[in-house]
Amino acid sequence: MKILIADSNTVNQKITQHILSQREIQSDFGNDATELINLLNENNYLLILIDLNMLLNNEESIQQNLMTKLNQTPLIAFTEPSDFKAYNLSSSLRIDGILNKPYEMRELFEMIEKHTPYNSNVREKESQEEFKKSLFKYADNSAEFAFELVDCFIENYEGYKEQVALALTKKDPKSLKEAIHKIETSNRIFSINSLEEVTEKIKCLIHKPTSEIDRNIINQLELKCDSIIIKLDSVKQNIKS
Amino acid sequence: MKKILVCDDDEALISMIRFKLSKENYGEVVKVADGREAMHELIYHDFDMIITDIHMPYFSGLELVTFVREKLGDKTPIIVLSVEGIENTVTEAFQLGADDFISKPFSPNELSMRVKRLLSA
């Protein structure tokens, strides 16, 4: 499974590529329309994710060439929510879905699942089964209560991202320590180890001046939390069905 | 019917405690999210048990234990919830008058056993 992402922001590229690779989705990146056309000539993609402005800010001939190359491949555009001009212009193009920037990984995966045959692979399903088992144990083996609890955990992981970012901004070691304790406690419920490395890195950030804080580390935490939220959401759908 | 005060700001944990204690017919669970709310509840209402997190906004779990034992002169059983790695704080909680502690995360069954033991003591 391979998708093409057209985003000139290199930080976004790296983050997106990393999270996609965790779900065993290969991705190529194009920085401009010419690169996209070259990549489309050489590869087959199951989905194209493109910055709407990259699609619109080209000569008409390039735009037409690009749209021809895209053919019937599902096309998802991402744009600033306030960019109504781009949004209106996009109505004349064949676009299958719009994501508002900054988009969350959960939204991206929803688009991928909606427009491609991609679905949770076996490994992911196994992992979801582990999550489900842990959740049921915590919910005293009540499916009804487990369903109710998932939302609490999703809310918790959403909150952890904000609590950590706020504690770092305010330079508040006590709040940071508490936020990390909370993350570690929730992680133990689901036997999650993937956050250990990033939480250790975050602990070291608290004494650094704000200007020296590596935003990528906070992004890593956000992505890992998002990845857990996606799994919890899948477990919720699974319980519901 | 027994009344149990639960002080924690983790909605998932509070829901689990409430679910398990109701299921086992231990009594009514009253939840509060911080130490200040807990103190307010304790001034105006009687409880048969207090389950409190150590880290809470406004007043910590330790301050709450001190408040119950010293200011209110109350012997209501108190279970302190803690995370791993703060053994000193847990020891301090016992010195201040806490009756038991549970390390987070804990299973519903572990909670049930601890509550049963203290309520029947």
Three-state DSSP class for residue A55: helix
Helix/strand number for chain A, H first, E second? 11, 5
Structure-model confidence comparison of residues A77 and B7, the more confident one: B7
pLDDT tens digits for A96-147? 888 887 777 778 888 888 887 766 554 556 678 888 999 999 999 999 999 9
Full-model pTM = 0.65
pLDDT tens digits for A3-24? 898 887 777 777 777 777 767 7
Beta-carbon separation of A152 and B11 below 8 A = yes
Q: What span, in angstroms and rounded, lies between the C-alpha atoms of A178 and B83?
A: 10
- The ranges assigned to domains in chain B are 3-120
Q: Is the pLDDT at B73 greater than 80, yes or no? A: yes
CATH class of the domain comprising B3-120: alpha beta
Mutate to test the interface with A, among B14, B53, B55 (most CBs of A within 10 A): B55
In angstroms, what separates the C-alpha of B79 from chain A's closest C-alpha?
18
Mutate to test the interface with B, among A144, A152, A187 (most CBs of B within 10 A): A152
Nearest to B16 among A149, A185, A186 (CB): A149
pLDDT tens digits for A165-183? 898 888 888 888 888 988 9
In angstroms, what separates the C-alpha of B66 from chain A's closest C-alpha?
21
Chain B contacts in chain A segment 124-143 (CB below 8 A):
137-140, 142
B16 touches chain A (CB under 8 A): yes
Range A32-63 burial, b when 16+ CB lie within 10 A, else e: ebeebbebbeeeebbbbbbbbbbbbebeeebe
Tell me what the pLDDT averaged over chain B comes to: 91
A188 touches chain B (CB under 8 A): yes
Show the tokens assigned to A132: 């489900």
Structure-model confidence comparison of residues B85 and A143, the more confident one: A143
